[in-house]
Amino acid sequence: MDLSGRVAVVTGGGRGIGAATAQRLAQAGAAVAVADLDQGPADEVAAAIRASGGRAVGVACDVTSRPSVEALTDRAVADFGRLDLLVTCAGLTRDNLLFRMTDEDWDLVIDTHLKGTFYACRAAQKHMVAAKYGKMVLISSTSALGNRGQANYSTAKAGLQGLARTLAIELGPFNINVNAVAPGFIETRMTRATAERVGVDFDKMKEDAAARTPLRRVGQPEDVANVIAFLCSEQSSFVTGQVVYVAGGPRG
Catalytic residues: 153
Burial class of 66 by CB neighbour count within 10 A (0 to 12, 13 to 18, 19+): middle
CB of 80 to ligand NDP, least distance (A): 20
The CA distance from 183 to 125, in Å, is 25
Nearer to ligand NDP, 54 or 184 (CB): 184
Nearer to ligand NDP, 91 or 159 (CB): 91
The conformation of residue 232, written as its DSSP 8-state character, comes to T
Going by C-alpha positions, the residue among 223, 92, 222, 64 that lies closest to residue 157 is 92
C-alpha 159: how far from chain center: 14
CB of 179 to ligand NDP, least distance (A): 15
Nearer to ligand NDP, 30 or 138 (CB): 138
| Nearest residue to the partner ligand NDP, using Cβ | 16
Nearer to ligand NDP, 94 or 165 (CB): 94
Q: Which residues of 98-117 are buried (b: 16+ CB within 10 A; e: fewer)?
A: eeebeeebbebbbbbbbbbb
For residue 249, give the 3-state DSSP assignment. Answer: coil
Going by C-alpha positions, the residue among 165, 166, 164, 145 that lies closest to residue 155 is 145
Nearer to ligand NDP, 31 or 182 (CB): 182
Q: Are 224 and 17 in contact (CB under 8 A)?
A: yes
The CA distance from 4 to 170, in Å, is 27
CB of 61 to ligand NDP, least distance (A): 6
Give all strands (DSSP E) within 12-163, no chain letters.
Answer: 31-36, 56-60, 85-88, 134-139
CB of 201 to ligand NDP, least distance (A): 17
**Which residues would be at the binding site for ligand NDP (CB under 6 A)?**
11-12, 14-18, 36-38, 41, 61-64, 89-92, 112, 116, 139, 141, 183, 185-186, 188-191
